[in-house]
Structure 1
Amino acid sequence: MTAQDTDRPTDHDSPWKEALEHYFQEFTQLLFPAIHGEVDWSRGYNPMDKELQQITADANTGRRHADKLIQVYARDGSETWVLIHVEVQGEPEEGFAQRMYTYQYRLRDRYEVDVVSLAVLADTRESFRPSAFQYARWGCKLSFTFPMAKLIDWEARWADLEASDNIFALVVMAQIKAKRIKDGATRKDVKIALVRLLYERGYSREQIVQLFRIIDWMIQLPRALEAGFVQAVYALQEEKKMPYVNTIERVEREKALQQGLEQGLGQGRQLEARRILQRQLRKRFGDLPDWVSEQLEAADVDQLEAWSDEILFAESLDTLFRH
């Protein structure tokens, strides 16, 4: 595998990007097994992020969530680029199939290589299952189809995920629970259960740290429940004799920041609260529109902190700010 290790992704990335870069082979094996069988994995794979950015930089195609471009080699020796769109927003996107087509033809036109587009839908709307883009007028017709995986279909096969030896099964489980469960206490219990699975599967230290970071980012908890989660992880690490994940370091940094906010006065405290909320919003929803920035500038500290508490359960920016 030639994907390079990375630190925790930036606010403009997502846990899906990290998971796909580290575990692309396992991803295809679990969600697209027919395609997995066509790839010569002995030759590795390479992320093509710069190439993807070049064709999406000026594309008026809405918010991008976790698009990845990966170079692989087919079993017949030919080079193929695999374009993956991961749809993770709370509400399905009307123009999703067209965006799939736009990226497909731009890559094909610019680089003259075969491009295989894959869609992963992490929303919870049962009826949203785009797998084609087509139009026809006056005898001119276009039809573009692409393989699609709907994650909530795995809810009926949850036992298969729990028993799977595929490392990507944990990513799918975490994403499903992150979208389905809104109650904070239940989220904490589910998160602890997934971390326990992580320790019980015999993964390497590096894999445990990487997967913990992905799960920790996907299933976020209200601040009031973080301490209980941390204690549970420490108890689990003691039980398994695997002190791999230094969660307390992260929590202590957040605690110190919160104490600093509480001790701060006036404008300094407000600026810090706004900076933290902006970071949370970008991590959850991507680039912020101007109307959101205007609301952040006008809000006082109490309102900013209230939004920070509610961000985990908001399906969209509209839900958080306008309702």
Structure 2
Amino acid sequence: MAKPIDYDALLKDFITDFFPDLIAFANPLLYAAIDWDRGYTFLEQELINALRGKFKVRGKRRQTDKLVKVYLKNGLEHFVFVHVEFQHKKEKGFGRRMFVYRALIGLRYGLDNITAMAIFTGAPPPAEERSYYSDTFGTSIEYKFGTVIAAELEEEHLLKVSNNPFALAMLAALYAYQSRNKPKVRLGLKNQLFALVKSQDIGIDKIVKMLIFVRDYVNLPQKLENEFQETQFSLVFPNAEAMTISKGTKEFAVGLYEHVFGYDPETLLKEEKKKAQELLDKERQAVIEAIGREEEERQKAEEERQKAEEERQKAEEERLRLDNTIRYLHEIVKMSAAEIAIIVDKEIVYIEELLASANENDQD
């Protein structure tokens, strides 16, 4: 069975590479206000900490969000929160979830200057989920956030601004949505996208990344994917006959990938496997330590219970000795309750009740 496509993760990685293009497309006013010469910083760990444990899906916390720190031309820091959402079906409560995300981030780090946006690449969200509103006996909350909904974008407009890589990504998402369950149609659209990407004057690095994104995002059944690759190969080498890929060709392809992305695929795969193993070892160690802590706590609780029981027994034994002493002083020494109370340092009421109870028991 083919591995399912993680559309959200693909687009999240794309945004990492083309963040300024996203802002230029989705929020031109913000783009104009940002001092791009000062760069920008992705705050991945800060975001994970702020949203830890919230809105779990199939037991895993969502990791398709980005928090980015930028600087405005007025010198102030500004933060951009981007949520990526590929929806197979309409979801209730999305607007509230965006509000909670914004509140958690703001409270965790004391931020007010946050621009939030949600990018939908699958089914369009219901109108009521594109914002959040709550009114409780006169206390109301209204929260609006930016939205980019690929399925509702105009193809003509996306083609017009296709020099923006993010517009091309949204065109890929639009085509993928329009051609769902239509693999032959999708094949034609994928070929069109490749031709469009290769025609852009955006630099070889960006073009290669765009082609890889389109290849992975606009997925096809394996047979049609093979046909697609043959078509693209023939466009690059129109006069070439069927050929065997040599070791040198493979090394060249790896070198090109390394030039564009800064690392070769094999090294990346090894690093990912190493990280996965380290994470697995860490989780195993955490389980072992948790079991050890549970056992220590259990033993500690048992020791405390035994100690409490010993103290209870000791107190009971002392009480019995005191009661026997009181009875001895009264019955043998013939002391009054008042005299006994002074000797044993007890309330006279306690002495009298004990002697009365002893007399009743003796009579029985």
TM bucket by the smaller chain?
0.5 to 0.7
CA distance in 2, matches of 1:196, 1:138: 57
Contact 1:124/1:180 (8 A) holds in 2: no
Distance apart, 1:66 and its partner CA: 2.7
Cα distance between partner residues in 1 of 2:109 and 2:86: 28
One-letter code aligned to 2:132: F
Take 1:11 and 1:172, find their aligned partners in 2: how far apart are those partners? Answer: 16
Query: In the aligned structure 1, how far is the partner of 2:83 from the partner of 2:164?
Result: 21
1:15-164 counterparts in 2 under 5 A? 15-60=10-55, 62=57, 64=62, 66-113=64-111, 114-125=113-124, 127-128=126-127, 130-155=129-154, 158-164=155-161
Shift of residue 206, structure 1, vs aligned partner? 1.5
The CA distance in 1 between the partners of 2:125 and 2:136, in whole Å, is 31
Task: Report the residue type matching 1:161 in the other structure.
Answer: L
Taking structure 1 as reference, are residues 162 and 13 closer, same or farther at Cα in structure 2, changes over 3 Å only? closer
Q: Residue 83 of structure 1: SS of its match in structure 2?
A: strand
What one-letter code is carried by the residue in structure 2 that aligns with 1:226? E
Distance 2:82 2:124 in 1: 20
Secondary structure (helix, strand or coil) at the match of 2:24 reads helix
Give the drift of 1:123: 3.0
The residue that corresponds to 1:197 in the other structure is 196
Q: Which has the greater radius of gyration?
A: 2
Structure 1 position 11, deviation (Å): 6.2
Residues of 2 paired with 1:132 and 1:226: CA distance? 39
Checking the alignment, whether the CA contact within 8 Å between 1:196 and 1:236 is kept in structure 2 is no
Q: Which amino acid is the alignment partner of residue 33 of structure 1?
A: P
Q: Structure 2 length as normaliser, TM-score? A: 0.59
SS of the aligned residue for 1:201 comes to: coil
> In the alignment, which residue of structure 2 is the partner of 1:257?
none
Alpha-carbon contact 2:130-2:147 (below 8 Å) kept:
yes
Which structure has more relative contact order (CA 8 Å, sep 6+)? It is 1
Where structure 2 has 5 or more consecutive residues not aligned to the other structure, the ranges are: 239-244, 251-364
Is the Cα contact below 8 Å between 2:92 and 2:129 reproduced in 1? no
Count residues with an aligned counterpart. 231
Q: 1:166: Cα distance to partner?
A: 1.2
Q: Deviations over 1:262-289 (max 9, x none)?
A: xxxxxxxxxxxxxxxxxxxxxxxxxxxx
Unaligned residue ranges in structure 1 (runs of 5+): 1-9, 240-245, 250-323
Residues 17-54 of structure 1: CA deviation (Å, up to 9, x unaligned): 11111111111111222222222212111111111111
SS of the residue aligned with 2:237?
A: helix
The percent identity for this pair of structures is 25
- What is the rounded CA distance, in whole Å, between the counterparts of 1:145 and 1:162 in structure 2? 28
CA distance in 2, matches of 1:129, 1:98: 10
User: How far apart are residue 121 of structure 1 and its match?
Assistant: 2.3
Matched residue of 1:37: which SS?
helix
CA distance in structure 2 between the partners assigned to 1:64 and 1:93 by the alignment:
15
Indicate the residue corresponding to 2:265 in structure 1: none
Structure with more helix by fraction: 2
- Maintained 8 Å contact 1:85/1:118: yes
Alignment of 1:7-22 (within 5 A): 14-22=9-17
Is the 1:129–1:150 Cα contact (8 Å) retained in structure 2? no
* AA in 2 matched with 1:50: Q
In structure 1, give the amino acid aligned to 2:159. Answer: E
Equivalent residues of 2:150, 2:174 under 8 A apart: yes
CA-to-aligned-CA distance 1:298-319 (integer Å, 9 cap, x gap):
xxxxxxxxxxxxxxxxxxxxxx
Tell me: CA distance 1:129–1:152, structure 2 relative to 1, closer, same or farther (3 Å): farther
Asked if 1:210 is matched to 2:209, the reply is yes
Deviations 1:225-246 (A, max 9, x none): 121111111122236xxxxxx9
Alignment of 1:243-254 (within 5 A): none
Q: CA deviation at 1:110?
A: 0.9
The Cα of 1:126 is off from its aligned counterpart by 7.2
Q: Secondary structure at the match of 1:14?
A: helix
What residue identity is the alignment partner of 2:19?
F
**Cα 1:189/1:131, change in 2 over 3 Å:** same
- Root-mean-square deviation (Å): 2.4
Q: Structure 1 length as normaliser, TM-score?
A: 0.66
1:175 partner SS: helix
